[in-house]
Amino acid sequence: MKPQKLITDRTAKIIYWVATLWLSLGMVSTGIVQIAHMDEEVRKMKELGYPMYFLTIIGIWKLLGVIGILVPKFPLLKEWAYAGFFFLMTGAIFTHLAVNDSAVEYFGPTLLLLLTVISWYLRPAERKLSIRKK
């Protein structure tokens, strides 16, 4: 007797695409805001103690990561993009912790981190890096 799955393949695929599209939207929108050096982002980066050029770097990383996750094939690139998003969002959360920010500041990076993990975990087999056995 086969063990019963918690969610069906169809449900997993729907959750994957919803999480991935929300993740992509969040990363693109914040990436554009960071590349454009919008006033609120500049103010926050100064409060956090980061140099302003860091905004451009992380904004570009986010846009490239979204391309990597959404483009078909290239599973190794997807793994790197997910890892990058994971590092960016955990870094953001720990930075907010370090400067003792209010709870509201954690919402965005925590949501994007959660979406990153869900998207990575539920990605279809053709989007996973397969290890070939000899």
Residues in CB range of 50: below 8 A, 6 or more apart = 95
Determine the length of the chain.
134
Residue owning tokens 């959750």: 15
pTM, to two decimals? 0.88
What does the alpha-carbon distance between residue 73 and residue 123 come to, in Å, rounded to a whole number? 12
What does the alpha-carbon distance between residue 47 and residue 79 come to, in Å, rounded to a whole number? 32
- Residue 99's pLDDT is 87
Q: Give the CA-trace dihedral at 8, 14, 16, 20, to 10 degrees.
A: 180
**Assigned token pair, 30:** 């914040």
- The better pLDDT of the pair 52, 47 is held by 52
Residues in CB range of 131: below 8 A, 6 or more apart = none
Q: Write out pLDDT tens, residues 62-117.
A: 999 999 999 998 999 999 999 999 999 999 999 989 888 888 989 999 999 999 99
Q: Write out pLDDT tens, residues 24-35.
A: 999 999 999 999
Is-contact 90 106, C-beta < 8 A?
no
What does the alpha-carbon distance between residue 1 and residue 21 come to, in Å, rounded to a whole number? 36
